[in-house]
Every structure is written in C-alpha cells, then in structure tokens.
C-alpha cells in the first residue's frame, strides 16, 4: 500500500513526516529509567494517614456482627469505619457509562457479603503496617450461605442479590433460535457446533490500584489516583458523590498499566474517598498484590457456543451464538457483551446470524474490562474456522480467503448491519502469506511428524472497532490545546492519558510536524483533570485515532496563525511563509526570516504590530469528533512445537501483519501489539483465576497466577499495512488488537500440531495436563475441574423456581392505560429511564416516550385490553426500529422492547 498524500482534509492520511511515522525516542523514558516517575504511591502529603481493609472471608452470607474494639485499641489506629459509618454520604458505584447499578452496591459491605475479599471495614492508621495489624483484628461474625460460583451455578442457584428474580444481570437476543435461521443451520451441508470456555483473568497491571485523597475545605477535593483518565475519574466522582459544586481535581502523572481495570474508581477507592471526607485528613490506600488478586475486579470468564453452517465449498451460510459471562457480584458493568455478536462475523461474508447473550451475577469478585473485552468473538470464530477446515477438508487459509470481506467487496454491510468501507483483514492476510511460506512449513511439519515432533501453524484474521465516539456518554471526542510560548517553545495540553501508551511522545511528534518545530522543543502535558477537556483517556483503542486527529487540527490552526502574523510582519503573502525547525521563512526573502521566538514575542507583547483582528498570543485549541467508528485489521501467524511427552508448548515463530492506518510511531505501535500478544500467550497457556466450590480464590500470589515471562514470549515479526482511515490523520488504533487476535492464533497452532491426536477442546488455559489428555486420549485433568456440564446457561428459565408473589391482575374494566408512566428499559449500556405518556381511543394508542435526550411520539394499538403495541424509529447509533410490546397490570407496566439486531430488552415501570 502506498503512502498517502500529505493533507489535512478528512479522510486523508498524513503518512510519514519528519517525525510522524518515525521511531523517535519516548519523552517519558528518561524519568522512568532513572526512578523519577511519579506513581500514586510516590505521593506523600502532610498529615497523611494510611488505610487497609478488613475483607470478607466467605463468598456469601449475612453479617451478624462486626467487632472492632480490639482493633480500635491498637496504638496508631485513628478510626475504623463500616458501611454504617459512611452510609449518610452519597457514594454511588456507577458504571463506565455513568449509570447507577440495578442492584444494591455500597463501598463497604452493607449487612451481607457477596464475594471473598469484599471490603467490610476500613482502618485508618499512622502507617500501613499498623492499619493491616488492626484489619486482621476486626472480627466479623457471618451466617454463611452456599455461594453461586460458576456460570452453571448462576443458572441454578438462588439470586446473588436479594430482591431479584434470578442471576441474569443483562440479556439480549432471542431465547429461541429464529425458525428461519434454525432451518438454514439444519439444512446446511456442514454444521459445526463449537464451544469455547475462557478462564477468568486478572488484569494485573504491575502497579496495583491506589489513591491518595485530600479534602481542602468544602470546595476542593484533590485526588491522586492510578487510573486511565483523570477526567473520567473526576466526572464519575462528581456524579457518584453528588458534589457538583465541589472542584474535584484528579492527578495521575505516571500509571503502571491499566488494561481496563482502572477505568474508574470502585469500592475500595470510593470507600477511602468517603472516609477522607468524613475523617478530614489526607488518606492513602495502596492495594497490595494479595488484595489485587483477590479483591480487584477481574475479566473474561465466558462460555460461548457457536453454530456455523457451511456449504460444500466452505462458504458461510448461517450462524448462531450463545454467550454467557460471569460478572461476579459487583461488576463495573452489568455486561452481556453485545459487542461479541456485533463483531463475531463482521469481517466475513456471513448471510445470517442470531444470538442470545447474557451476563450472570455470581458470588465472585466483580467484572471489569480487560484489553479487548469482546475478544471472544475473534477467538471462537477463528478457532471454528480451523475446525471447519479440518472437517470439510479444505485448507484453513483457503476457508478464510473464501469468506473474508476484501477491499473490493466494500462498501458493504455486515450481518449485524454495521457499514464497512475500508477494512483490510483479507489484505493483511495476503501480506502475511507473502512473508511466510506455508507450503515450505507444511513439508517441514510432515518431516517432523515422522520424527515424532509435532509442529503446528496457526493463522487468524480479525477487525477491531476503534476510536468510538458519540454513541456512549463517556466515549467522546478529544480536545487538543497547543501554544507557542513567548520563548518559542511549544507546549500542548492534552486529555490523553498514558499507562504506558507514550501519548506525550506521539502527540509531540504530531505537533512538531504540523508546526515545523523540533520534537525536542515540544512538551505535552497530560494526567491532570484541571487541564484540558473531558476525555475517557485510554479506552477502546481511541487515543491515537481521536487525540491524534485533534492534535493535527489544533497544530494546523496554530501554524496558520503563525503564518498570518509572519506574513503581516514581512508584508508577504501567507503562502510565502514556511515554518521549519523553529524558523519562520519568507519565500524569496531570506533576510526576512525570523525565529519562532521572535514571532511569539511580538504575538504576546507587541499588540500594535499585529494584523487587524488578530487575537494576541499564539494559542489554538480544537475538539475533534471523529467518524463514529474506525476499524483496525490484522492477520497473524504463529508456529509452535508441542512436546507430546510433557504437553509443553514452545512458540517458534510469530508474525503480526496489521493495519493500524497511519502509524504515528512504529515502535509505539509494535509495543502495543507485542504487549497484547504477550497477554494473549498468557491467556492461552498460563493465566487462570479460579475458585473452589465455596468461592475461595485459588490464586492469591504470582506463584499461583502465572504471568508470561520473557522466556514465554518469542520475538515477534511485524508487517505494517498503513492504509489511512477516514479520520483526520488516518490513524486506526492499535491498543487492544494483540490481545484479541493472539489468542486464536496460538490456539490454532496448538490444534494444528495435535491434529493427528484429535481436536483440542478450547478450554483455556491449555495447560500441559489438558494437552496430554488429548495426546493420550484420556482425561488427565484434575477432578476439581467440573465434568462437562450441559450448557445449562442456554436453556435456563428466566424466572427462578422460587414462587414470585404477584398482585392479582386488575379486572379488565379497571385497566387505566391513559396517563404518564415511569419506565426503565434495561439496555446493554445500563438502565435507561424514561417517561411514557399513553392515550387510548378504543384500540387506538398514541403518546410519546420522553428521556433526558428528548422525546418522541408514536402511534400503536391496544390488544386484549391491556397489551400495548407500538414502534419507534431511531437513527442513533444505528437506524433501527424499536418494537415495544408492553402489558399493563394495575399500576404496573412491563414487557419487552425489540431492538432490531440488538435483540430484546426488558422494560418495567409504574404509573405516575
């Protein structure tokens, strides 16, 4: 692919420049290499005290008593708080979408505990040692109950949250497979049913969670917190605490990795913040690794069954997916992960797809994001394609070639109605194959097998939505502010945030290029909510795409300003001005060259010399709103050898062929991919957070939870496609891809190596014992692993077996539909509150639905006296028709809203 033209317009890449596209050294590194970084535990404030938590030792039960007297008497202890002590503060555990939870959640346990490690009491002491001593002396009496631990338990067991009917936290799609789809699946020449079990993962940033908080009078609250966006934390906290008039300042200069865990505060941080409000002294809490493995939110733990129908040529006919995720007791998102279904076939020509997707509450620590939260879609699709290839007898690469959407096929629409314009997974795959000789490998593989050595090749392709903005409250555009100081140096203030992303480097590269200054002369400040504007920071592979676009736009505005002033001073035309290396040149008049500093001094200090109407100073800002969605694409290959005596996997080679659009800094791009690939290797071979049947976590140290080490990760080879996207600058995002595509690439390689022994069940991690079970044809996996359970999740009844007391339906003649109703729709982005206004005239229905975003009128019908049927058409985020089917019983209303391809959402409400 050729380098795009220089240009600033929408949809043009900026390719390479003097700095953009170059492997410049990172601005962050000198301080981090010399121990001068500033992480949250490096902060000390005068008068600061330290916190520790007493945590639940059981997974589920009632708290009978919390005895704190002995702990309180430990010298150096200042206070011990339980939920009762802080209950008068508003402190809501909001989701990433800023929605209040559907179930009761409090910073400290409120009368019940719902997972091992749940914080019960907070101790404030002179130092952490004393706080921990006291925490261990707090005595808690429980009435122990049987916990719901696994997905299978969740479908059968009593609700985790009192007052709920069942453990389904969120659900979308259809419980019954659509008849037409079922027929297509059944009548196809080949139907493959593939189940994937993904273990639970600890995000494990090397820096654990932590916060230092100080209340400075009633007006100010300052927080140092390890996070992924100071702005998001400030916004989240303002809403959580209900303190709109308090100036909340959040500072996070250096952060030791986030990976989704640190999007916003959770129970512990919120408890410490509230405790600081109450106690009135600065408080610090730094999570230790035991707490992090036991008490910090975790990710994945999913099961999915995918049915895929193929014709005799290996072409896709239809598919159905059934997905479940264990989201624990207090998840950061009441998630059912609709994105899995949106993207499972997005890069492939799939004519028909249906799904059921659910998130389940259990008595385990709650769910949070982890790099590529929807990655199951690529894992299950790319592994089923290899299984199908083996079954149908075609080459795994060929089956992809026949089904992938190529550039020639676009524009087109996916089976989930996502428009595609320029995805390139097929092109990434061809590029990969040009670099890796598959035929030669197959020969080598055959020869090795004769010697009893088992080599395997895994290939996978994918696309990834990046740079999303505009469909979710927290996912916004980005603001860039840049100024040329009177000294001639460039300072930019960005709302990007680096937990290793190197945004102070990549943004500086952009400014240096766009302004014509040296990279060394640009400083980018970030990591402080009191500067810049709102942005969710590092989330959804968005910073390069959106902040990069904002930086280009702001840089160009400022360059135009410099040129305007320079032209005025030189009495030349703007077109004759060139800025290079911090010098401002006038075409044809070398004697009129000025330094940027000279121009800046005039701009700030000599208003009389400015052109008419020129705003003094050299400052510009721009908030960039990108296209709603951008896509990155990739194809990967890896070669492994599986030792059939030990079950150990050795990775021999790994090639990444990716298209992240314009790479601002290829070293940063490769760093992001490599980090994700290493995490994928961890997911496939090493990492596992599991629980015993009482809900006790089985990994509480890094001896039990095994992270990939340098000896586990091979040297990666990189191929870059660099097809500019439609966003300004042409970036496509690169943050999560490695963790998404790496997993199936490695699983496929292992399955290919062991194909002579049979299929390898995709039940992660693929430990030596599991692989030896395949090799030896007998179950060698320890008995603690549950026997193959029926896929109960797919058929679980919606309501629990417990009888539900319901008010007798009001007699028909008393049904009063007309009037206003308060209703809540459970959508994938959290509960949406609205008011419904209904008017009836016989069986004719009219009215409107009103929410914070506005109101929309509808007409419909009333059937059977109390059944309201009406449609609403919406344009955002996609054009869909919402079909409401509601039933009025007395002053209660309930029913469903069918949301096109998103399936159905539950609605409940009452008369106002």
Partner 1 sequence: MSKHHIEMTINGRRHSGDVEARVSLSDFLRDDAGYTGVHVGCEHGVCGACTVIVDGKAVRSCLMLAVQAEGAQVTTVEGLAASDGTLHPVQQVLLEEHGLQCGFCTPGFVMTLAALTDGDAKPSEQQLVSALSGNVCRCTGYQGIRRAAKRLACNEAGENS
Instruction: Tell me the closest approach of the beta carbon of residue 33 to partner 1, in angstroms.
Output: 4
Q: Give the bridge partners for 657, in sequence order.
A: 635, 719
Instruction: Tell me the closest approach of the beta carbon of residue 829 to partner 1, in angstroms.
Output: 29
Q: Find the binder of ligand FES among 65, 206, 804, 808 (CB under 6 A).
A: 206
Instruction: Tell me the closest approach of the beta carbon of residue 675 to ligand FES, in angstroms.
Output: 8
Instruction: Tell me the closest approach of the beta carbon of residue 500 to ligand FES, in angstroms.
Output: 5
CA-to-CA dists, residue 343 to 390, 420, 582, 679, angstroms: 24, 12, 46, 21
Element (H, E) at 676: helix 666-681
Instruction: Tell me the closest approach of the beta carbon of residue 656 to partner 1, in angstroms.
Output: 11
* Distance from C-alpha of 4 to C-alpha of 211, rounded to nearest angstrom: 45
* Distance from C-alpha of 771 to C-alpha of 785, rounded to nearest angstrom: 15
Indicate the residue among 710 and 808 with the shorter CB distance to ligand FES.
Answer: 710
H helix runs in 60-144, sequence order: 69-72, 83-86, 128-137
Instruction: Tell me the closest approach of the beta carbon of residue 679 to ligand FES, in angstroms.
Output: 11
Indicate the residue among 355 and 716 with the shorter CB distance to partner 1.
Answer: 716
Indicate the residue among 331 and 738 with the shorter CB distance to partner 1.
Answer: 738
Q: How many CA atoms lie within 13 A of 165 on its CB side?
A: 12
Pick what 609 binds: partner 1, ligand FES, none; C-beta below 5 to 8 Å, kind-dependent.
none
Instruction: Tell me the closest approach of the beta carbon of residue 59 to partner 1, in angstroms.
Output: 24
Tell me, residue by residue from 500 to 539, as one string, x for binding to ligand FES by CB under 6 A and - for no binding.
x---------------------------------------
Instruction: Tell me the closest approach of the beta carbon of residue 196 to ligand FES, in angstroms.
Output: 28
Are the CB atoms for 436 and 637 separated by under 8 Å?
A: yes
Indicate the residue among 710 and 808 with the shorter CB distance to partner 1.
Answer: 710
Instruction: Tell me the closest approach of the beta carbon of residue 649 to ligand FES, in angstroms.
Output: 24
Pick what 67 binds: partner 1, ligand FES, none; C-beta below 5 to 8 Å, kind-dependent.
none
For residue 33, the tally of other CB atoms under 10 A from its CB is 10
Indicate the residue among 508 and 774 with the shorter CB distance to partner 1.
Answer: 508
Indicate the residue among 701 and 813 with the shorter CB distance to partner 1.
Answer: 701
Indicate the residue among 42 and 417 with the shorter CB distance to partner 1.
Answer: 42
Instruction: Tell me the closest approach of the beta carbon of residue 41 to partner 1, in angstroms.
Output: 7
Single out the residue of 317, 264, 296 nearest to residue 99, CA to CA: 264
CA angle in degrees (0–180, nearest 5) for 474-476-477: 160
Pick what 259 binds: partner 1, ligand FES, none; C-beta below 5 to 8 Å, kind-dependent.
partner 1
Pick what 408 binds: partner 1, ligand FES, none; C-beta below 5 to 8 Å, kind-dependent.
none
Q: What is the 3-state secondary structure (H, E, C) of 499-562?
A: CCCCHHHHHHHHHHHHHCCCHHHEEEECCECCCCCCCCCCCCCCHHHHHHHHHHHHHHHHHHHH
Indicate the residue among 206 and 808 with the shorter CB distance to ligand FES.
Answer: 206
Indicate the residue among 257 and 890 with the shorter CB distance to ligand FES.
Answer: 257
SS3 category, 750: helix
Single out the residue of 58, 56, 59, 77 nearest to residue 68, CA to CA: 77
Indicate the residue among 288 and 485 with the shorter CB distance to ligand FES.
Answer: 288
Judged by CB under 6 A, does residue 710 bind ligand FES? no
Residues 6+ away with beta carbon under 8 Å from 376: 196, 198, 300, 302, 304, 323, 337, 340
Of 809-848, binders to ligand FES (CB under 6 A) are none
Instruction: Tell me the closest approach of the beta carbon of residue 13 to ligand FES, in angstroms.
Output: 29
DSSP assignment letter at 342: H
Indicate the residue among 134 and 151 with the shorter CB distance to partner 1.
Answer: 134
Instruction: Tell me the closest approach of the beta carbon of residue 424 to ligand FES, in angstroms.
Output: 30
Pick what 25 binds: ligand FES, partner 1, none; C-beta below 5 to 8 Å, kind-dependent.
partner 1
Indicate the residue among 257 and 666 with the shorter CB distance to ligand FES.
Answer: 257
Instruction: Tell me the closest approach of the beta carbon of residue 677 to partner 1, in angstroms.
Output: 6
Helix axes 425-435, 396-403, angle to 10 degrees: 150
Instruction: Tell me the closest approach of the beta carbon of residue 40 to partner 1, in angstroms.
Output: 11
Indicate the residue among 501 and 514 with the shorter CB distance to ligand FES.
Answer: 501
* Distance from C-alpha of 462 to C-alpha of 460, rounded to nearest angstrom: 7
Tell me, residue by residue from 462 to 501, as one string, x for binding to ligand FES by CB under 6 A and - for no binding.
--------------------------------------x-
Helix axes 230-241, 267-279, angle to 10 degrees: 60
What are the phi and psi torsion angles at 59 (to 5°)?
Answer: -85, -25
Indicate the residue among 47 and 613 with the shorter CB distance to partner 1.
Answer: 47
Which residue's CB atom is positioned nearest to ligand FES?
206
Pick what 715 binds: ligand FES, partner 1, none; C-beta below 5 to 8 Å, kind-dependent.
partner 1
Which tokens hold the place of 687? 């990492």
Pick what 354 binds: partner 1, ligand FES, none; C-beta below 5 to 8 Å, kind-dependent.
none
Which tokens hold the place of 160? 């985790």
Instruction: Tell me the closest approach of the beta carbon of residue 200 to ligand FES, in angstroms.
Output: 21
Q: Give the bridge partners for 719, in sequence order.
A: 657
In 365-404, which ranges are E strands? none
Pick what 28 binds: partner 1, ligand FES, none; C-beta below 5 to 8 Å, kind-dependent.
partner 1
| Burial of 805 from C-beta contacts in 10 A (0-12 / 13-18 / 19+) | exposed
Which tokens hold the place of 505? 């480097």
Pick what 813 binds: partner 1, ligand FES, none; C-beta below 5 to 8 Å, kind-dependent.
none
Pick what 643 binds: partner 1, ligand FES, none; C-beta below 5 to 8 Å, kind-dependent.
none
Judged by CB under 6 A, does residue 257 bind ligand FES? yes
Q: Provide the terminal-to-terminal Cα distance of the chain, rounded to the nearest Å.
A: 61
Instruction: Tell me the closest approach of the beta carbon of residue 502 to ligand FES, in angstroms.
Output: 11
Q: What is the 3-state secondary structure (H, E, C) of 778-807?
A: CCCCCCCCCCCCCCHHHHCCCCCCCCCCCC
Pick what 668 binds: partner 1, ligand FES, none; C-beta below 5 to 8 Å, kind-dependent.
partner 1
Indicate the residue among 206 and 812 with the shorter CB distance to ligand FES.
Answer: 206
Residues 6+ away with beta carbon under 8 Å from 675: 500, 738
Are the CB atoms for 176 and 232 separated by under 8 Å?
A: no
Are the CB atoms for 692 and 532 separated by under 8 Å?
A: no
| Burial of 22 from C-beta contacts in 10 A (0-12 / 13-18 / 19+) | middle
Of 133-162, binders to ligand FES (CB under 6 A) are none
Indicate the residue among 498 and 723 with the shorter CB distance to ligand FES.
Answer: 498
Indicate the residue among 254 and 301 with the shorter CB distance to ligand FES.
Answer: 254
* Distance from C-alpha of 516 to C-alpha of 566, rounded to nearest angstrom: 14
Are the CB atoms for 273 and 241 separated by under 8 Å?
A: yes
The site for ligand FES, by CB under 6 A, has a size of 4
Which tokens hold the place of 315? 């072409």
Instruction: Tell me the closest approach of the beta carbon of residue 144 to partner 1, in angstroms.
Output: 29
* Distance from C-alpha of 742 to C-alpha of 710, rounded to nearest angstrom: 17
Question: Binding residues for partner 1, per CB under 8 A?
Answer: 23, 25-26, 28-30, 32-37, 39, 41-42, 129, 204-208, 254-257, 259, 288-289, 498-502, 667-668, 670-671, 673-679, 701-703, 707, 709-711, 713, 715-716, 738
Pick what 155 binds: ligand FES, partner 1, none; C-beta below 5 to 8 Å, kind-dependent.
none
Q: Which residues of the shown chain bind ligand FES in the complex (CB under 6 A)?
A: 206, 256-257, 500
């Amino acid at each position: 692919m050729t380098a795009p033209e220089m240009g600033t317009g929408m949809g043009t890449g900026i390719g390479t420049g003097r700095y953009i596209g170059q492997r410049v050294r990172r601005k962050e590194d000198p301080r981090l290499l010399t121990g001068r970084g500033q992480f949250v535990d490096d902060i000390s404030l005068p008068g600061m005290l330290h916190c520790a938590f007493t945590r639940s030792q059981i997974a589920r039960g009632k708290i009978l008593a919390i005895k704190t007297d002995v702990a309180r008497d430990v010298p150096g202890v200042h206070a011990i708080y339980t939920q009762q002590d802080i209950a008068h503060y508003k402190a809501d555990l909001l989701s990433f979408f800023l929605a209040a939870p559907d179930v009761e959640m409090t910073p400290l346990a409120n009368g019940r505990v719902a997972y091992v490690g749940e914080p019960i009491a907070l101790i404030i002491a002179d130092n952490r040692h004393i706080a921990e001593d006291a925490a261990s002396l707090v005595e808690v009496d429980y009435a122990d109950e049987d916990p719901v631990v696994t997905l299978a338990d969740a479908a059968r067991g009593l609700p985790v949250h009192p007052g709920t009917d069942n453990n389904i936290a969120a659900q979308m799609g259809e419980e019954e497979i659509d008849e037409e789809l079922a027929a297509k699946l059944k009548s196809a020449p080949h139907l493959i049913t593939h189940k994937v079990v993904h273990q639970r993962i600890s995000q494990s940033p090397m820096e654990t969670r932590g916060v230092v908080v100080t209340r400075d009078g009633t007006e100010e609250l300052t927080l140092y917190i390890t996070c992924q966006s100071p702005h998001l934390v400030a916004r989240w906290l303002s809403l959580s605490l209900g303190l709109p008039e308090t100036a909340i300042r959040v500072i996070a200069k250096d952060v030791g990795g986030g990976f989704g865990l640190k999007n916003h505060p959770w129970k512990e941080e919120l408890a410490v913040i509230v405790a600081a409000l109450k106690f009135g002294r600065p408080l610090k809490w730094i999570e230790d690794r035991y707490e992090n493995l036991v008490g910090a939110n975790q990710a994945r733990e999913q099961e999915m069954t995918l049915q895929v129908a193929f014709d005799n040529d290996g072409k896709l006919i239809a598919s159905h997916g059934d997905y479940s995720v264990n989201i624990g007791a207090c998840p950061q998102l009441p998630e059912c992960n609709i994105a899995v279904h949106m993207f499972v076939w997005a890069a492939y020509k799939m004519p028909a797809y249906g799904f059921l997707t659910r998130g389940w509450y259990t008595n385990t620590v709650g769910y949070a994001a982890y790099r590529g939260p929807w990655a199951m879609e690529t894992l299950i699709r790319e592994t089923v394609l290899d299984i199908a290839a083996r079954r149908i007898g075609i080459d795994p690469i060929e089956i992809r070639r026949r089904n992938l959407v190529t550039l020639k096929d676009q524009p087109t629409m996916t089976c989930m109605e996502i428009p595609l314009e320029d995805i390139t997974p097929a092109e990434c795959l061809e590029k990969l194959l040009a670099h890796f000789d598959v035929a030669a490998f197959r020969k080598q593989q055959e020869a090795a097998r004769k010697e009893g050595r088992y080599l395997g090749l895994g290939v996978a392709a994918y696309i990834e939505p990046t740079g999303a903005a505009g469909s979710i409250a927290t996912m916004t555009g980005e603001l860039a502010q840049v100024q040329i100081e009177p000294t001639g140096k460039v300072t930019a203030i960005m709302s990007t945030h680096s937990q290793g992303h190197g945004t102070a480097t990549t943004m500086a590269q952009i400014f240096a290029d766009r302004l014509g200054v040296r990279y060394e002369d640009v400083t980018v400040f970030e990591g402080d909510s009191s500067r810049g504007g709102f942005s969710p920071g590092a989330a959804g592979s968005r910073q390069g795409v959106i902040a990069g676009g904002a930086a280009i736009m702001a840089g160009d505005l400022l360059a135009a300003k410099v040129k305007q002033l320079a032209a005025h001073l030189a009495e030349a035309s703007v077109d004759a001005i060139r800025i290079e290396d911090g010098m401002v040149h006038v075409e044809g008049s070398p004697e009129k060259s000025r330094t940027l500093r000279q121009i800046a001094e005039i701009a700030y200090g000599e208003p009389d010399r400015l052109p008419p109407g020129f705003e003094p100073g050299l400052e510009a800002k721009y908030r960039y709103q990108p296209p709603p969605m951008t896509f990155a694409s990739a194809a990967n290959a890896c070669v492994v050898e599986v030792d059939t005596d030990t079950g150990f996997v050795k990775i021999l080679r790994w090639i990444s062929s990716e298209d992240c659009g314009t790479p601002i800094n290829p070293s940063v791009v490769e760093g992001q991919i490599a980090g994700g690939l290493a995490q994928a290797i961890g997911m496939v071979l090493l990492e596992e957070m599991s629980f015993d049947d009482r809900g006790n976590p089985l990994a509480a140290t890094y001896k039990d939870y095994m992270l990939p080490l340098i000896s586990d990760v091979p040297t990666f080879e990189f191929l870059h496609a660099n097809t500019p996207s439609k966003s300004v600058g042409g970036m496509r995002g690169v943050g999560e891809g490695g963790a998404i595509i790496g997993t199936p690439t490695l699983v496929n390689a292992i399955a290919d190596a062991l194909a002579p022994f049979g299929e390898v069940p995709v039940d992660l991690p693929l430990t030596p014992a599991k692989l030896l079970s395949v090799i030896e044809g007998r179950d060698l996996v320890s008995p603690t692993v549950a026997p193959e359970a029926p896929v109960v999740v797919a058929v679980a009844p919606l309501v629990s077996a417990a009888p539900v007391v319901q008010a007798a339906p009001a007699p028909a003649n008393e049904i009063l539909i007309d009037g206003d109703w308060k209703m809540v729709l459970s959508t994938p982005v959290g509960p949406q509150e609205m008011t419904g206004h209904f008017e009836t005239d016989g069986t004719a229905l009219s009215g409107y639905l009103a929410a914070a975003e506005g109101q929309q009128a509808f007409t419909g019908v009333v059937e059977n006296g109390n059944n309201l049927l009406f449609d609403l058409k919406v344009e955002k985020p996609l054009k869909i028709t919402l079909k409401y089917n509601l039933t009025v019983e007395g002053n209660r209303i309930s029913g469903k809203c069918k949301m096109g391809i998103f399936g159905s959402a539950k609605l409940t409400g009452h008369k106002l």
